[in-house]
């Protein structure tokens, strides 16, 4: 059976049985970062997002966030990004159970390093991003993935990176090298790539798929035996809160200093994928997120500091009143993780911030860009925590509030690219933007996982049905409404350009007025809106946003095959495609 068919059958069984064992993780795991450190006046402010799902309205009277948080940014936020930050921060402060990282770490600075935009069946992302970043590790490597396929080139690239790191530590430091902790969390759904009836190592562990967090020997997933390594302490856990609380984030964090983020899982899916490396104090939020997920204290990054400096369950414990272990101090907002110039380059002086780019192509359809110099920009972490409940429908978390606030501040144009555009809330926020005169472009997949997307609550059907429903809803709207175009993703490899079921993009991005972007793991489907654990970042920088959008559009032909609202009538369908 194909993976998609197995997923559909599993989902149907879970819906029918409604058996939701919570496991020890769900019973005892409580987030302790939250908004405890926010000023009382901010935490008690009026909150315009319903605690359940009724509506979202911008609140222009929210107070300024505490100065200690704003100091983590390398420069003041733009007015629109500040509005998003205030709403997302308040959501995190008031609802820590929906936020996997302390609200105090959502503000930060970051430098975007190498970027890879390519089809995912090869190992470009893994070879050019994961491998070199893993080789920098001195203390710790943290990884998460949703899908995992042990036969794909990316997993082999991971094997090689771990072997190379172990050998590098042996050559450089020999027996004196400290052990590097390699902690890897895989979504339990990865077991769908194994056959428990024929694989003797999986059969006795089938019961584990109903446990929220379970440690499993790496060889079970065809990963290297930890005994092979002299300098690596390698551990693997699986995670899922049944039925719907899945791990959907994809990240690599090394020594709490550098991260790789994006849409790429450790699999061989054939869609377009985007990933990028990131340094700066915004990486603190990712390490805290992982600690919350790992559900164990992470060892101190500075071995001279005692055990009181561990990161525990999403909370960062200060040591003797100093900056918490693993966190770059506020004054070090431009810190980087390489040997290049670490001076503050956050100035708006174009002469100082121009980048010299080197470009390589893994094939004629993908790009890989390495930045010789990039500037430090303000970033906002917009994560969300998993929610296992079938009818979960909450907006009060940084991701959802961030998306809604971003669309609400749009004045001219909103651009969305997503594998799926079918959550009712996605259509509603687009409809509200159109009513304010904002022009909206949506690029999504012509056909992706159609067989079970309609089973989710709060779904408008598969992508074509959801698009038709949205077009029908805006027919006859008031004058002054913005224009809507929905485009099916078509990569450069498709000739002549036409929508195909097997051609899809896995990139998840929102760009508002070409001034800021939100890029991460969250899709515009009910699973990401209401159930999955996600990681997203807002980039508050015009230059970086415009560059990203230009690269994204250059990699595809989607704008050549769009449906415009002016063309749509009450009898229109997508059946002719």
pLDDT of 9 higher than 60 = no
CATH number, domain of 142, equals: 3.30.870.10
Q: What is the pLDDT of residues 224-246, one digit of tens each?
A: 999 999 999 999 999 998 888 99
User: Looking at the domain assignment, is residue 516 inside a domain?
Assistant: no
Q: What is the pLDDT of residues 68-110, one digit of tens each?
A: 999 999 999 999 999 999 999 999 998 898 999 999 999 999 9
User: Looking at the domain assignment, is residue 136 inside a domain?
Assistant: yes
User: Looking at the domain assignment, is residue 543 inside a domain?
Assistant: no
**Domain range enclosing 183:** 115-334
Q: How much is the pLDDT for 372?
A: 45
User: Looking at the domain assignment, is residue 152 inside a domain?
Assistant: yes
Average pLDDT, the chain: 80
Residues 500-508 have a mean pLDDT of 90
pLDDT of 135 higher than 60 = yes
Give how many domains the chain has, as a whole number. Answer: 1
Which of 110-124, 129-143, 317-331, 484-498 is predicted most confidently? 129-143
Which region holds residue 226: left if phi is over 0, alpha if psi is between -120 and 50, else beta?
alpha
Both tokens of 27, joined, read 């019973």
User: Looking at the domain assignment, is residue 234 inside a domain?
Assistant: yes
Q: What is the pLDDT of residues 172-218, one digit of tens each?
A: 988 888 899 999 999 987 766 565 545 555 555 555 555 678 898 99
For the chain, report the end-to-end CA distance as a whole number of angstroms. Answer: 28
pLDDT of 477 higher than 70 = no
Residues 456-463 have a mean pLDDT of 88
Pairwise CA distance, residues 142 & 257, whole Å? 11
User: Looking at the domain assignment, is residue 345 inside a domain?
Assistant: no
Q: How much is the pLDDT for 318?
A: 33
Q: How much is the pLDDT for 187?
A: 92
Residues in Cβ contact with 576 at an 8 Å cutoff, skipping those fewer than 6 apart: none
User: Looking at the domain assignment, is residue 166 inside a domain?
Assistant: yes
Q: How much is the pLDDT for 214?
A: 86
Give per-residue burial for 308-322: e unless 16+ CB within 10 Å, then b. ebbbbbbbbbebeee
Q: How much is the pLDDT for 369?
A: 63
In this prediction the pTM is 0.84
User: Looking at the domain assignment, is residue 512 inside a domain?
Assistant: no
Helix (H, G, I), strand (E, B) or coil at 341: coil
């Amino acid at each position: 059976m194909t993976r998609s068919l197995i997923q559909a059958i599993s989902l149907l069984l879970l819906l029918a049985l409604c058996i939701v064992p919570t496991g020890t993780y769900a019973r005892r795991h409580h987030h302790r970062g939250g908004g405890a450190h926010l000023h009382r006046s901010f935490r008690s402010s009026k909150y315009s997002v319903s605690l359940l799902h009724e509506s979202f309205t911008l609140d222009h009277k929210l107070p300024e966030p505490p100065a200690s948080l704003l100091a983590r940014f390398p420069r003041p936020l733009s007015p629109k990004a500040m509005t998003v930050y205030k709403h997302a921060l308040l959501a995190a402060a008031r609802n820590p159970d929906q936020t996997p990282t302390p609200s105090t770490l959502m503000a930060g600075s970051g430098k975007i390093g190498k970027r890879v935009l390519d089809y995912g069946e090869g190992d470009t992302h893994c070879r050019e991003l994961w491998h070199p970043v893993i080789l920098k590790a001195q203390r710790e490597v943290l990884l998460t993935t949703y899908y995992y396929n042990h036969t794909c080139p990316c997993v082999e690239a991971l094997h090689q990176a771990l072997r190379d790191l172990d050998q590098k530590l042996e050559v450089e430091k020999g027996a004196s090298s400290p052990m590097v902790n390699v902690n890897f969390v895989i979504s339990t759904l990865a077991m769908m790539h194994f056959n428990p009836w024929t694989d003797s190592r999986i059969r006795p562990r089938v019961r584990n798929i109903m446990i929220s967090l379970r440690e499993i020997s790496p060889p079970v997933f065809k990963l290297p035996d930890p005994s092979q390594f002299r300098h690596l302490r390698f551990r693997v856990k699986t995670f899922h809160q049944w039925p719907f609380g899945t791990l959907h984030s994809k990240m690599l964090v090394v020594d709490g200093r550098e991260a790789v983020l994006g849409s790429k899982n450790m699999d061989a899916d054939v869609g377009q994928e985007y990933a990028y490396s990131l340094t700066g104090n915004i990486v603190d939020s990712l390490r805290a997120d992982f600690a919350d997920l790992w559900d164990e204290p992470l060892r101190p990054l500075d071995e001279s500091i005692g055990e009181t400096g561990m990161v525990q369950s999403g909370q960062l414990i200060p040591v003797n009143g100093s900056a918490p272990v693993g966190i770059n101090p506020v004054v070090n907002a431009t810190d980087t993780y390489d040997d290049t110039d670490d001076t503050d380059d956050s100035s708006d002086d174009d002469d100082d911030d121009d980048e010299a780019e080197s470009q390589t192509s893994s094939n004629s359809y993908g790009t890989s860009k390495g930045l010789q110099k990039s500037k430090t920009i303000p970033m906002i972490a917009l994560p969300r925590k998993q929610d296992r409940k079938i009818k979960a429908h909450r907006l009060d978390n940084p991701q959802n509030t961030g998306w809604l606030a971003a669309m609400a501040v749009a004045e001219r144009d909103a651009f969305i690219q997503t594998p799926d555009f079918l959550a009712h809330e996605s259509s509603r926020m687009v409809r509200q933007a159109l009513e304010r005169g904002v022009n909206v472009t949506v690029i999504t997949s012509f056909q992706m996982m159609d067989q079970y997307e309609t089973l989710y609550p709060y779904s408008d059907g598969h992508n074509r049905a959801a698009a038709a429903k949205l077009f029908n809803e805006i027919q006859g709207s008031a004058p002054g409404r913005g224009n809507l175009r929905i485009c099916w993703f078509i990569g450069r490899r498709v000739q002549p350009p036409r929508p195909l079921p097997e051609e899809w993009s896995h990139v998840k991005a929102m760009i508002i007025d070409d001034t800021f972007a939100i890029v991460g793991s969250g899709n515009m489907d009910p699973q990401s809106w209401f159930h999955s654990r996600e990681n997203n970042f807002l980039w508050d920088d015009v230059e970086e946003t415009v560059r990203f959008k230009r690269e994204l559009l250059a990699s595809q032909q989607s704008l050549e095959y769009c449906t415009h609202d002016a063309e749509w009538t009450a009898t229109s369908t997508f059946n002719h495609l």
